[in-house]
Structure 1
């Protein structure tokens, strides 16, 4: 086989690897929202209370958020291909268990198992992408696709969830993962390369794992509890205090551990730190769009679940378009220091625009324009941030560095869930208290309640808009200039080529010895 043919074959194989990884990432990301649409139907079928309903969502987020760093490190230790396949099979099995659930307890247990295997699968998928695509031009295209999926997965989940729930059954929101996983496992067996370890087998940082897993669990649980039981509840503030103590202890331990779970140099690297913060901001701000705009469309304007899902399609199209243009044209030319702040400002403007929505708004004239602008913004932020977050990382730490991307997004979403819901609830209560006295008929009282909900959504949009604006300033200050990014990219490419050459020499030596 000629060198040219071998290079073309390797390139084709890499794109099939991308398709496999993208499918797995889509499965994990959309599962965070696809089940939300199915909750009312599942509640009616299994007969659990409104108070228990939150645990179907929380069980997943607790396991997923608290175990992400461990999952990323495990993929570094046992090999990314093996971890990827284990994650796919485990996620599919947990999804099948949830789809067949005949009780509330079984459904919650299945969701927790989904979170556990998702915590292994998500960082492994990104690590496979990071170590597979090292040629700068190919890397840009690959991360454009991956970033688009990371940003649009939630909206796809709303669309798919509405369709499956309305035309089939809520159980198919879970069963569908089995089909995704079968295709992805076949692709992984054929196309995902087996990473070879050189040198002694690395060890797992057990104290660090316990500290960070406990800290992240307490953090996610504390904010989830605040959403339902308030900030004064014992379990809310005690868990948040415990989280702070455990995470500080984790950082101190990482400074002295022989085999740290998360070497601090990964996070303290200027570009990677800026990328993690950007993903955190994006994950937090997007919650305002997916949750409150969904509520607005269904409860205020009366859209059906599937119509609500379809309403997000233009945003997805704009996100994909911006992701491809950004990673292939604009990021190589201007770098994340320019692109990410621009995306943040666009997102801030889109959310500010949404504060103009009211009970008489129409989709085409009032909702579609800011929704499309939000898609363009997320397509500008996410691919550039994710690509930079994993750029130049030593491949022995690719898994845990990738896990930090997912951790940033998950923690950002958990925090914004609690904060924005609290602010919205307070705004709704205050509006009703101020205006209910003049409503003397049931119709007038219903009108006050409907307007109160819209005013509450406006508070969420303004807060998220301000958060994105602060993120724009942060990104502009922290990201390095384009020249530094290019130097790191070419150094990473040279290192990857050296690793591949070492692997080829090792294979040749083994064949000769055999």
Structure 2
């Protein structure tokens, strides 16, 4: 980080550190809570299905509010939205830590998800606005990708240490000092900008339709594993969610001041990058979630050893995203770098399909971890650049929210599908009399195989659909605020 700060001695790099600190807090929360779930279940007397709501109560508002938060940031000012999100997230974290019963914890987690969406939705938009020059933007995206990856691994380690040495309450309390520090520094360092004004997109009905549709869609996905993909519950709720989203799209096409200008999807590169990201995240989620279950249930790892096992992924991302990825992207272009990175991730997932019951970490898992760490370290900065390449100053918050939304939807959908497939294979083998360890491993291997297929589809899309972003053109002469119309140009 110090090397980057010395590259350009201006406050923008300090502002980037502050923004990344806010993102680190949000990402930490996701993995650190997962490690503490068994202890939370025992302490607050959660049932198995009730415990899922500790996660779902966060995911549903987070995934559902990202687009609304991103667009609102464009309207009222992205720094203002970021600061508001930090306040909500930090206060909600304190409430989670103080929770003495199930209802209080689940309610506070819902607020946490809302605050996380408010803060996370605008971060990428602020980064591309602060760093319009291609080389600087590539380095900034590398820092962001490193923090996003390192946060997950740090969360696994911190969750194990805090839960085992103090109590599960501290996995939430740890957010407070980070949130307070990020807020104080952001008010001084992160540049403020005027939004384009509520008149440019204050579509209240569209906001209600879009947010309700997305939240219901996320709910449908995360609960499908419990009810079944073809159950009446999943089908009915899914149809309602689809109806709300269709109504939202129709309204955005007709209303004068849309919340989500559909012109943003006119960019082949932006749309393609978001689809590629959804497939990539859906595939890689199996490695983190089901891989952790394999380490725990088959190989007998404790939470701390699980966190250490995933360090090569964070190490690979850190080694490449903080400098190497920017130079490689500038030299060869984002599209070929992304395709190569996806092939490395694909190779890592294919190796995981061979994971044995009596596996050795060094020979059976470490090569996969290294391949996926290198692939993600090269791929995520290129992907972020492509996904944000068509955003104008007026649309960057919306584009940032869209990137985060496809991440969440891809992760939730991938996890729900892969966990369902894995469980079905395991249960089928157990019914046939297979040993528990063999049945579990076979289920995990099936999920890794499907993950590899998803990443393979992402490789094809990256090669066929994506184009290298063109250099940004100089901004035209300023026009009155009322006349400003955000345009997402084809890259």
TM-score where L is the length of structure 1: 0.89
What is the CA distance between 1:130 and its match in structure 2?
Answer: 1.7
Aligned to 2:472: 490
Q: How many correspondences in the alignment?
A: 476
Is 1:466 aligned with 2:447?
Answer: no
Residues 1-48 of structure 1: per-residue CA shift (max 9 Å, x gap): xxxxxxx99842011011001111111122222111111111111112
Q: Structure 1 segments of 4 or more deviating over 3 A?
A: 8-11, 197-201, 324-327
Q: Secondary structure in 2 aligned to 1:72?
A: helix
What is the CA distance between 1:267 and its match in structure 2?
Answer: 2.2
Residues 371-409 of structure 1: per-residue CA shift (max 9 Å, x gap): 110111112221111122122412122111100010000
Aligned to 1:479: 466
What is the CA distance between 1:198 and its match in structure 2?
Answer: 6.4
Aligned to 1:364: 362
Q: Secondary structure in 1 aligned to 2:271?
A: helix
Aligned to 1:29: 27
Task: Sort the Cα spacing of 1:285 and 1:30 in 2 relative to 1 into closer, same or farther, 3 A.
Answer: farther
Q: Residue 143 of structure 1: which of 121, 135, 141 is its match? A: 141
Maintained 8 Å contact 1:92/1:178: yes
Structure 1 residues 81-480: aligned runs within 5 Å: 81-197=79-195, 201-325=199-323, 327-436=325-434, 448-480=435-467
Maintained 8 Å contact 1:74/1:120: no
Maintained 8 Å contact 1:225/1:235: no
Residues 166-202 of structure 1: per-residue CA shift (max 9 Å, x gap): 2221111111111111111122011100103568853
- 1:48 and 1:288 map into 2 onto residues whose CA distance is 25
What is the CA distance between 1:141 and its match in structure 2?
Answer: 0.5
Q: Secondary structure in 1 aligned to 2:167?
A: coil
Task: Sort the Cα spacing of 1:326 and 1:247 in 2 relative to 1 into closer, same or farther, 3 A.
Answer: farther
Maintained 8 Å contact 1:166/1:306: no
Structure 2: tracts of 5 or more residues without a match:
1-5, 482-491
Q: Which entry has the higher C-alpha Rg, 1 or 2?
A: 1
Shifted more, 132-141 versus 452-461: the winner is 132-141
Q: Secondary structure in 1 aligned to 2:322?
A: helix
Maintained 8 Å contact 1:92/1:177: yes
- 1:199 and 1:212 map into 2 onto residues whose CA distance is 20
Maintained 8 Å contact 1:88/1:185: yes
Aligned to 2:489: none
- 1:431 and 1:398 map into 2 onto residues whose CA distance is 49
- 1:199 and 1:177 map into 2 onto residues whose CA distance is 32
Residues 47-86 of structure 1: per-residue CA shift (max 9 Å, x gap): 1211200000000000101111111112112211211111
Q: CA RMSD in A?
A: 2.1
- 1:260 and 1:372 map into 2 onto residues whose CA distance is 44
- 1:56 and 1:347 map into 2 onto residues whose CA distance is 30
What is the CA distance between 1:269 and its match in structure 2?
Answer: 0.5
Maintained 8 Å contact 2:157/2:307: yes
Task: Sort the Cα spacing of 1:326 and 1:338 in 2 relative to 1 into closer, same or farther, 3 A.
Answer: farther
Maintained 8 Å contact 1:69/1:403: yes
- 2:406 and 2:438 map into 1 onto residues whose CA distance is 34
- 1:120 and 1:326 map into 2 onto residues whose CA distance is 31
Q: Secondary structure in 2 aligned to 1:393?
A: coil
Shifted more, 293-302 versus 387-396: the winner is 387-396
- 1:362 and 1:154 map into 2 onto residues whose CA distance is 23
Maintained 8 Å contact 2:78/2:195: no
Aligned to 1:511: none
- 2:266 and 2:421 map into 1 onto residues whose CA distance is 33
Shifted more, 210-219 versus 196-205: the winner is 196-205
Q: Residue 72 of structure 2: which of 63, 71, 74 is its match? A: 74
Q: Secondary structure in 1 aligned to 2:18?
A: helix
Structure 1: tracts of 5 or more residues without a match:
1-7, 437-447, 504-514
- 2:371 and 2:196 map into 1 onto residues whose CA distance is 47
What is the CA distance between 1:315 and its match in structure 2?
Answer: 1.1
Q: Secondary structure in 1 aligned to 2:433?
A: helix
What is the CA distance between 1:326 and its match in structure 2?
Answer: 5.1
TM-score where L is the length of structure 2: 0.93
Task: Sort the Cα spacing of 1:502 and 1:193 in 2 relative to 1 into closer, same or farther, 3 A.
Answer: farther
